[in-house]
Every structure is written in structure tokens, then in C-alpha cells.
Structure 1
Amino acid sequence: MALSREEREQFLAEPHVAAFAVAGMAGRAPLTVPIWYQYAPGGNIWIMTGRDSRKNELLGAAGRFSLMVDRVEPTIRYVSVEGPVIGTTSATVEELRELAARYLPADKVDGYVDFAAKNHGEQVVIRMRPERWVSSDLGSV
């Protein structure tokens, strides 16, 4: 059964690791990788990636991407969302900290932020406006 707008937005707002997908180069399948993201119901989605990453290069060419999140308990549920890139900015330490705090225990955030700032290279934040949604809750099959 499809989720209501409120249900799908609330589910996407939970800290799931998303499957990120963007159109690949000619003759290649889409690039699909796990990614952390940030979202609040009714807002835009943002992700962070390396400025020189393949993701960022493909996003520049495609101009849009999709995310899919799912769970299997207590029911089988998924939400997929697609939309256009509406902005790319240099990432800040505050954004890195916000994203890390969404996924990591509080006592691990500072260590991760320090590690990422020193080892991941220059990062960008890419914002997407949700445009198309597919969602379902299959119950406890």
C-alpha cells in the first residue's frame, strides 16, 4: 500500500542510509552507492560528497538524482524520491557535524568530523528538491 505524503516524508526524515543513484556515463549503468543524507518533512534533501568525486561529476552532467531508503521491520517499507539538483555549495564543518550527528552516537561525532576534515578532501553539499516519490508499506509479509 502506498504511503501518504506525511508518512513518506516522515519515513525519509528518519536516519536511514540511502541508496543514491545518478545517471552514469554513456554505455554504463547508473552509479548507485550508499550515502548519508539530511531531510526534514516538506523541505529539500541534501547530501555531501567530494568536490572531485565521480558522484559530483555525474551530478553535474545529469542535474538530478534519486535516493531510496527501506526497512524490513516491523513492516517492509520503502521510499524512493527523485528530483533536480537546486544548488551546490562548499561544505562547512557545521554541515559535516550535522550529518555525522544524524548517523553516529554523540560520543563518536567529534572524532569522525576531525577524521573526515583531514582525510576526505574538499567536500560539497548538493541540494535536491523532491519531485517524484514512490513509496509502499508491504506489511509484515
Structure 2
Amino acid sequence: MALSREEREQFLAQPHIAALAVDAGAGRAPLTVPIWYQYTPGGDIWVLTGLTSRKNELISAAGRFTLLVDQTDPTVRYVSVEGPVVETKAATIEDLREVSARYLRPEKVEEYVDFSWKNHGEMVVLTMRPERWVSSDLGAI
């Protein structure tokens, strides 16, 4: 059964690991990779990635991407959202700290942020405006 707008937005707001998919060009399957994301119900979604990463290059070329998040417990439920990139900006250490705090235990955040900021190179924040949603709660069937 499809989720209501409120249900899918609340589900997406939880800290799931997303699968990001983007067109990889003629003759290629979409590039699909796991990624952390940030979302507040009713707003846009943002991800942080390397400035020179393949996914940033492909997203820049395509102008859009898809995120899929799912869970299997206590019921199989998923939300897929696709839309255009509406902003690209240089990532700040505060952006990295915000998304890291969403996924890591509090005592691990600063250590990870320090390591990532020093070792992962320049990063960008890509903001996507949700346009198309697909969702389901298979446990409701």
C-alpha cells in the first residue's frame, strides 16, 4: 500500500542510508551508490559528495538524481524520490558535521568530521527538490 504524503516524508526524514542513482550515460546502467542524506519534511533533500567524484560529475551532467531508502523491520517499507538539483555549493565543515551527526553516535562525530575534512578533499552539497515519489508499506498488504 502506498504511503501518504506525511508518512513518506516522515520516513524519509529518518536517518536511513540511501541508494543514490544517477544516469551514467548511453549504454550504461545508472550509477547507484549508498549515501548519507539530510531531509526535513516538506523541504528539499541534500547530499554531500566529493567535488571531483564520479557521482558529482554525473549528477552535474544529468541535473537530477534519485534516492531510494528502505527498511525491512518491523515491516518492508520504502520511499523513492527523484528530482532536479536546485543548488550546488561548496560544502562547509558545518554541513559535514550536520550530516555526520545524523548517522554517527555523538561521541564519534568530531573524530569522523576531522578525519573526513582533512582526507576526503573538497566536497560539495547537492540539493534536490523532490518531484516524483514512489512509496509502499508492504506489511500493510
1:98: Cα distance to partner? 0.2
- The code of the aligned residue for 1:97 comes to R
Give distance in 2, aligned partners of 1:89 and 1:98: 15
Give distance in 2, aligned partners of 1:36 and 1:27: 28
- The code of the aligned residue for 1:16 comes to H
Is 1:74–1:140's contact at 8 Å kept on the other side of the alignment? no
Structure 2: runs of 5+ lacking an equivalent:
none
RMSD across aligned C-alpha pairs, in angstroms? 0.9
Alignment of 1:18 with 2:18, yes or no, is yes
Aligned-pair identity in percent equals 72
Alignment of 1:60 with 2:60, yes or no, is yes
TM-score, length of structure 2 as denominator length: 0.98
**Equivalences, count:** 141
Map Cα deviations across residues 103-141 of structure 1 (whole Å, 9 max, x no partner). 000000000000000110000000000000000001178
TM-score, length of structure 1 as denominator length: 0.98
Find the residue that maps to 1:139 and give its secondary structure: helix
- The code of the aligned residue for 1:134 comes to V
- Corresponding residue of 1:85: 85
- The code of the aligned residue for 1:70 comes to D
Find the residue that maps to 2:40 and give its secondary structure: coil
Find the residue that maps to 2:138 and give its secondary structure: strand
Is 1:64–1:82's contact at 8 Å kept on the other side of the alignment? yes
Give distance in 1, aligned partners of 2:27 and 2:53: 19
1:25: Cα distance to partner? 2.3
- Corresponding residue of 1:35: 35
1:1-141 alignment runs, 5 A limit? 1-139=1-139
Structure 1: runs of 5+ lacking an equivalent:
none
Find the residue that maps to 1:85 and give its secondary structure: strand
- The code of the aligned residue for 2:24 comes to G
Map Cα deviations across residues 73-93 of structure 1 (whole Å, 9 max, x no partner). 111100000000001000000
The structure 1 segments of at least 4 consecutive aligned residues displaced by more than 2 Å after TM superposition are none
Give distance in 1, aligned partners of 2:89 and 2:26: 27
1:51: Cα distance to partner? 0.4
